[in-house]
Structure 1
């Protein structure tokens, strides 16, 4: 059976034509521009999401017309936490405020004061990236626009509206608005009142794998589809990628070493951890939640080392690997690589990076090693914090650009003191997860969400590094 998985990233959109949940037929991707009209602002034209998705699907149809005709479901995962305000005609009133928009700092404090227990009811502590503080900012600064507001939309939900004409959302993405009671999966009137948003202007919430509309007839014709084509409610990006990497059962943990890093752990119960800056949302498989610890700067930290040393990242990886084989960790400086603050476990966006142990003999290879080690320690800190609040990781899978480095994987496994698995097609985790939701929406059994993803290898902790890394991790936090 043919399905399409669409992943709506902040800087690019990818659409993948998938057969039988695993075999990739063809892929189309396109960049999307982000507007930053002022420092701290981050916005996108919502209709650009739609036009880019249509372009990607045009390319799939051109590349594989026979397979495209047989598509039965479409699933979408997308960047979370945006604030897109629609008018009565379901047209955007302004550009969408994105997850990395930072203008609503004051409103975060106001919301926490108004609802002190919000972190135990929603996905976490108020943050300027989350939707609710953005709505409060808009009410203060663009009141005439907010008077015309009739619907709040999230990224993938707006694209699905364009594909089907239907308004809906689902718990994984809706949980990022801080208007949803995560434990119950229902919009919360008290939270809406605190933010100043009318609950009548929120979409209905359905299961992530439910059919939330069918592809419009003109689009069926455009892409040569026989139809009908079910469009699933979909997923927030972290949830879609976790599902696509095989994370659907309690105890599954998917660690993403990307520009930032995320430790996503599937949990049978709702274990909020706002005091440790943990995000907790509904997952996109039945009866489970997703606990998320965030490393704010992962591969971005290594990119920075490349900038200051004049080395390319692959060169740094080779040099760091040679260094550790020849000299061992003790010769390297210690780097706390929180270049853009620390989310989990301290919630300190104001923190900056710290390097100790610098001397004239420090080389780019040593700095690269210290960076990979420091990021691995931050992942271990996230998992430790999640364990403290009751989450129980059992099986670790790692995805993201950092997985190209065998050294980084060894450091991560050793810092966690747990084996970590690689999977086939890690770069397709988001679209694959969306495709699985599409399959269920089109009639496949719910059990297909839990089908395993083939492992490409397992990396075990290095017993020769375990003790020295434990000592260095403790020293990283020592006062200087």
Structure 2
């Protein structure tokens, strides 16, 4: 048995996988965000560990015999977060997360201080990345910066609790702006630009390699045998790719989670920072990937549910008989930039907007506009990838948003690409993490990283695409008109 632990933004998810590749069970425990000031997004690492322990208890109670047979654990986690530790490995302040926008000024400072940043790291300096966060701490919390002995990414802090070891992997480390992405190793040059050294960074292993073993006292408390291997693990998107079998060049997927991600596998390092496209290491050796990221995706729908006091299922049910012609006439345009935006705008100040409300506008129109706005953001990301030379003809859909067939068809129509749903696609990074645990225990890539069965296929409809085209043009024009306002 193999356990996948996915440390997300809104939930810690656990998945139990058997040696035939079947999902035995899942469990989760919710997390909350803290935003003490505008543009800030933080979490207490201690809450990640509490949630993990809670989810372990649930999974163990539901599947006691299978859980006891675990001999490999894989990790997946939200990328870019800065967990700062002192000499005694105590957390110095709340973790600054991937969707935190406070360090926009430090991005400019980093770009000036590291002239080769784009060549080495393959990415623009954006507030979401880890390096600008440390420059912000250095400037605004110098007493804390002086005490920083180690900097860990979220999943790697969780690994520290599991194994006692400080280790990361290239796929996650690539999102720090301190990694030489082509060489898959820390860059002393980029670290020095932040007054840091590799001594403050975790050791690197490939995502599919062993990183350590579960602490004996923890293995005993969880009812597991000694010497349970913990894999290097991966950033959430690279782990999701492993979960749906996206391992070969040209394989790709869309993730509709808190953020929206469009991910395509490459056989070499292909940076294109000018289009705000990310070039990262994949979770397998000698594999890289390009990625576009929008900071708010399925989280836009959760936000709207809270706003109108209705659950997601109710709102989506209201779209069952929704007319595309009606949407073109009465639905507003929605800009999904509730936390700013990355690809293609790199604009932490981009606002969320409903534009074009009328007396005839209903709640269903606004729900439709939210789904459409996120879809149009994905279309912008795909255009950026295409401009970087990436071609795709089919994309898998994963994450919580993949439960909506209406949304899947809307995406297919907007981007003119076949969208595929796989059985268990909502498992996302947790399945990939479990598979990485399997690989670390000696599993073969071809046997482990198979594509799950196809549950549904959504092909683009030319007429619906034509109806969406003028609304996409209005969507893009609205952002440009509001930029900097």
TM, length-normalised to structure 1: 0.92
Kept in 1, the 8 Å contact 2:402–2:426? The answer is no
- Of stretches 105-114 and 443-452 in structure 1, the one that deviates more from structure 2 is 443-452
**Shift in alpha-carbon separation, 1:83–1:225, aligned structure 2, 3 A:** same
CA contact (8 A) 1:332 1:369 kept: yes
The alpha carbon displacement at 1:413 in A equals: 0.4
- Distance (whole Å) between structure 1 residues aligned to residue 136 and residue 347 of structure 2: 22
C-alpha change, 1:332 and 1:436, in structure 2 (3 Å) is same
- Compared CA separation, residues 151 and 367, structure 1 to 2 (3 A): closer
Aligned to 1:405: 404
CA shift digits 1:201-240 (9 cap, x unpaired): 2122111110000122222222222343111011111211
Q: Is the 8 A contact 2:129 2:176 kept in 1?
A: yes
In 1, Cα distance between the equivalents of 2:35 and 2:327? 43
Give the ranges of 4+ consecutive aligned residues of structure 1 lying more than 6 Å apart after TM superposition.
Answer: none
Q: Cα distance 1:335–1:48, how it changes in 2: closer, same or farther (>3 A)?
A: closer
Match of 2:268 in 1: 269
5 Å matches for 1:239-388? 239-303=238-302, 305-306=304-305, 312-324=311-323, 327=326, 329-330=328-329, 332-355=331-354, 357-388=356-387
Q: Which deviates further from its counterpart, 223-232 or 423-432?
A: 223-232
Secondary structure at 1:397's aligned position in 2?
Answer: strand
Distance of 1:278 and 1:306 partners within structure 2: 30
Q: Say whether residues 1:45 and 2:44 are aligned partners.
A: yes
**Offset, 1:303:** 4.4
CA contact (8 A) 1:65 1:224 kept: no
| Change in CA separation of 1:151 and 1:442 when aligned onto 2, cut-off 3 Å | same
| Aligned counterpart, 2:136 | 137
Partner secondary structure for residue 410 of structure 2: helix
SS of 1:320's partner is coil
Q: Provide TM-score, normalisation by structure 2.
A: 0.91
Indicate how the Cα distance of structure 1 residues 356 and 187 shifts in structure 2: closer, same or farther if over 3 A, else same: same
Match of 2:394 in 1: 395
Secondary structure of 2:204's partner?
A: coil
1:190 equivalenced with 2:189 (yes/no): yes
Residue 205 (structure 1) aligns with: 204
Distance in 2 separating the partners of 1:374 and 1:97: 27
Matches within 5 A, 1:442-457: 442-457=441-456
Aligned to 1:225: 224
Deviation at 1:454, TM superposition (A): 1.3
Q: Give 5+ residue unaligned stretches, structure 2.
A: none
Q: CA RMSD in A?
A: 2.5
Q: Are 2:430 and 1:431 aligned? A: yes
1:153 deviates by: 1.4
Contact 2:82–2:130, Cα closer than 8 Å, also in 1: yes
Hey, what does 1:107 align to over in structure 2? 106
Answer whether contact 2:8 2:78 (CA < 8 A) is retained.
yes
| Partner SS for 1:14 | strand
Query: The residue matched to 1:361 in structure 2 has which SS?
Result: coil
Encode CA deviations 1:330-376: one digit per residue, 9 max, x unaligned: 55444443344332112223233455554433333333333322322
Tell me the distance in 2 between the aligned counterparts of 1:73 and 1:145. Answer: 36
**Compared CA separation, residues 410 and 122, structure 1 to 2 (3 A):** same
Shift, 1:397, TM fit: 0.6
Question: 1-side partners of 2:61 and 2:302: how far apart?
Answer: 36
How far did 1:44 drift?
2.9
Asked whether the equivalents of residues 83 and 131 of structure 1 are also in contact (C-alpha less than 8 Å), the reply is: yes
Contact 1:75 1:231 in 2 (8 A): yes
Residue 418 in structure 1 maps to residue 417 in structure 2? yes
Q: Look up the match of 1:469.
A: 468
Is the contact made by 1:266 and 1:283 (CA closer than 8 Å) also made in structure 2? yes
1:151 maps to 150
Cα distance in 1, alignment partners of residues 164 and 249 from structure 2: 35
Over 3 Å counting, the alpha-carbon distance change for 1:133 and 1:338 in structure 2 is: closer
Decide whether the 8 Å contact of 1:82 with 1:96 is kept in 2: yes
Structure-2 separation of matches of 1:103 and 1:331: 36
By how many angstroms is 1:136 displaced?
1.4
Of 416-425 and 260-269, more deviation after overlay is shown by 260-269
1:140 counterpart SS class: helix
Q: Deviations over 1:420-440 (max 9, x none)?
A: 100111221211100110001
Q: Flag the 1:30–1:402 CA change in 2: closer, same or farther, 3 A.
A: closer
Q: What runs of 5+ residues in structure 1 fail to find an aligned partner? A: none
Query: For 1:300 and 1:48, how far apart are their aligned partners in 2?
Result: 20
Count of residues in Structure 1 that have an aligned counterpart in Structure 2: 479
Tell me how far apart the structure 2 counterparts of residues 42 and 372 of structure 1 sit (CA, whole Å): 24
Aligned mates of 1:301, 1:90 — CA distance in 2: 36
The structural deviation recorded for 1:267 is: 1.7
Q: 1:37 to 1:315 in 2, by over 3 A?
A: closer
8 A contact 1:21–1:432 mirrored in 2: no
